[in-house]
């Protein structure tokens, strides 16, 4: 019996087989529709999750299996003080495999030591997120046709981003991979990743604080950019869809609307990130309506609002556009803050 705690639990040959299998499932779903008939997966999520939890559950159902579990520690015996080890001992009697997310680093590992069934780490604190890494590797290989000899830019919260840590540890096993680490000083990769992984592997890497500094040093031909924990952007998509379109729109509108501060954008982002809750869609629409200029405003201001609000509605109602918009808001706020600090 094997568990999946880290991407390193697979050697490179096994990793290739897993990615090949994923490609085949994607191309021939009917072929695998009954692969898990009679099997049950337990999803033990001690902290909130939308994409990861539903990805596991959807995958198991599409393979013919069944799912049981909980989506919050509050709805389990953990709220009464039950340990992870005791929980997994009980769950082992009900399920054939378990996916566990926990806010504490190492909790899934503790569970695996007491479990009678395989345990998959679905994210533990700021430590590891191996299944997200497998998804990232599959995406990169699908776009580039390989996992070696590429330059990958990692931008954002590199200190606490478990997906970043997992992806770096996985990619250093391939030859010719160069890393560009883009983050403010306070969110740089932790020392154990820089020293024990990057430097120890001998891979070339550089740390910069500004996205512009990274893009100037890279022609983009072999570049991949990761800007959040749930998505890998090809460089040309990132440049055109996120930077050129959405960031420019935000900059164009907010620089001529001085009364709207950064808190307004943060509020918009929070509503977009949680738009699965229908009430937040209404709140998003209401927040945009509050931006409408009053009747004494100039015609130019009113026209600018109409253009901006229409784009925000359109982007907010499409899953892919919404993801790009969230990324663009983060990037715009970061660039604006960086510009103000340089004054």
Angle between helices 51-62 and 130-144 (to 10 degrees): 80
Residue 44: half-sphere exposure toward Cβ, Cα within 13 Å: 32
Can you read off the two tokens belonging to residue 144?
């580039």
CA distances from 270 to 37, 66, 277, 330 (A): 39, 33, 12, 11
Contact (CB, 8 A) for 167 and 140: no
Catalytic residues: 51-52, 80, 101, 129
**Facing residues of 120 across strands?**
4, 99
Could you please report the per-residue DSSP string of 216-266?
HT--STTEEEEEETTEEEEHHHIIIIIIIIIIHHHHHHHTT-TT--HHHHH
Q: What angle do CA 281, 283, 288 make, to 5 degrees?
A: 100
- Torsion angle (degrees, nearest 10) of CA 13, 16, 21, 27: -160
CA distances from 214 to 167, 235, 299 (A): 19, 12, 40
Q: What is the CA radius of gyration of the chain?
A: 22
Distance CA 146, CA 132 (A): 18
């Amino acid at each position: 019996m094997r568990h999946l705690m880290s991407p390193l639990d697979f050697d490179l040959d096994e990793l290739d087989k897993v990615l090949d299998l994923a490609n085949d499932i994607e191309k021939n779903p009917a072929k695998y529709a009954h692969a898990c008939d009679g099997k049950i997966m337990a999803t033990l999520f001690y902290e909130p999750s939308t994409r990861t939890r539903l990805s596991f559950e959807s995958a198991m159902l599409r393979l013919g299996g069944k799912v049981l579990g909980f989506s919050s520690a509050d709805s389990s015996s953990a709220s009464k003080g039950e340990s992870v080890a005791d929980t997994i001992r009980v769950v082992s009697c009900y399920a054939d495999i378990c996916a566990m997310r926990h806010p504490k680093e190492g909790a899934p590992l503790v569970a695996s030591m007491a479990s009678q069934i395989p345990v998959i780490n679905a994210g533990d604190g700021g430590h590891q997120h191996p299944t997200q890494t497998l998804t990232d590797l599959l995406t990169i290989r699908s776009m580039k046709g390989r996992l070696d000899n590429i330059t990958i830019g990692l931008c954002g919260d590199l200190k606490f981003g478990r997906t970043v840590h997992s992806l770096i540890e996985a990619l250093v096993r391939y030859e010719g991979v160069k890393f560009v680490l883009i983050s403010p000083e306070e969110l740089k990769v932790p020392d154990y990743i820089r020293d024990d992984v990057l430097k120890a592997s001998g891979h070339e890497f550089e740390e910069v604080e500004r996205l512009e500094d990274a893009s100037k040093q890279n022609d983009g031909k072999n570049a991949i950019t990761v800007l959040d924990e749930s998505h890998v952007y090809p460089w040309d998509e990132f440049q055109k869809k996120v930077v050129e379109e959405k960031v420019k729109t935000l900059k164009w509108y907010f620089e001529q609307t001085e009364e709207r501060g950064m808190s307004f954008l943060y509020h918009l982002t929070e509503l977009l990130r949680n738009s699965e809750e229908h009430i937040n869609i209404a709140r998003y629409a209401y927040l945009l309506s509050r931006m409408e200029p009053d009747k004494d405003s100039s015609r130019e201001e009113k026209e600018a609002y109409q253009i901006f609000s229409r784009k925000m509605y359109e982007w907010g109602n499409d899953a892919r556009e919404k993801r790009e918009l969230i990324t663009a808001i983060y990037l715009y706020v970061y660039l604006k803050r960086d510009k103000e600090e340089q004054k």
